[in-house]
Amino acid sequence: LSHPNILPFLGYSNSLSQTALCGIPALICPWMRNGSLSQYLEENPDQIDKLFMLLQIANGLEYLHKNDIVLGDIRAGNILVSEDGTPCITDFGLSRLLKESGLTTSSAVAGSLRWMAPELLQNEKVTNASDIWAFGMMIIVSLHPSTWLSVVSY
């Protein structure tokens, strides 16, 4: 995969896998100094063209879908921002590794419930449509973050 809004995959390491990652290889990617999109928006609230950033993320998502890759967990925490401010989608490989290995992680599910399409809460399979739902949720929260801080349920 090669797209400006997809975090490049540089390689993997098995040296961490025996202890920290339960046998799953550690994926190696470039360091993203600006952290996640949620951190970046919080630290630079008035200095970012949010609509342009969201458009770039949509372009990356479209690229993945055209290559038959469904993320299943798109959210601001899974978008990393490069030093020049380019948003890059990440963590799409980890979901596939966990699914194929039969392992699960409660933290990934709990952290993503607000972003999940309703059908995923009924154990449906992730699809392009469920990614679009999650992207829509990310748009809402990115454009109006303080509105959602006190919301407990929908």
Q: What are phi and psi of 85, to 5 degrees?
A: 90, 10
CA pair distance 118, 114, nearest whole angstrom: 10
pTM of the model as a whole: 0.76
Give catalytic status of residue 73 as yes or no.
Answer: yes
For 38, residues 6+ apart whose C-beta sits below 8 A from its C-beta are: 76, 77, 145
Q: What is the CA radius of gyration of the chain?
A: 16
The C-alpha angle with vertex 14 and arms to 74 and 96, in degrees rounded to 5, equals: 30
Coil, strand or helix at 93: helix
Contacts of 127 (CB under 8 A, 6+ apart): 70
Question: What is the full per-residue pLDDT of the chain (154 aa) written as tens digits?
Answer: 899 999 998 888 877 655 555 667 777 889 999 999 989 988 988 888 999 999 999 999 999 999 988 888 888 888 999 999 999 999 765 455 444 544 444 333 433 676 778 787 777 788 889 899 989 988 988 887 665 555 565 5
- The active-site residue out of 68, 73, 84, 131 is 73
On whether the 32-148 domain is CATH 1.10.510.10, my answer is yes
Amino acid at 16: L
DSSP-derived letter for residue 6 is B
Taken as a whole, the chain contains a residue count of 154
Instruction: Determine the pLDDT at residue 65.
Output: 93
Rounded distance between C-alpha atoms, residue 7 and residue 106, angstroms: 24
For the chain, the structural domain boundaries read: 32-148
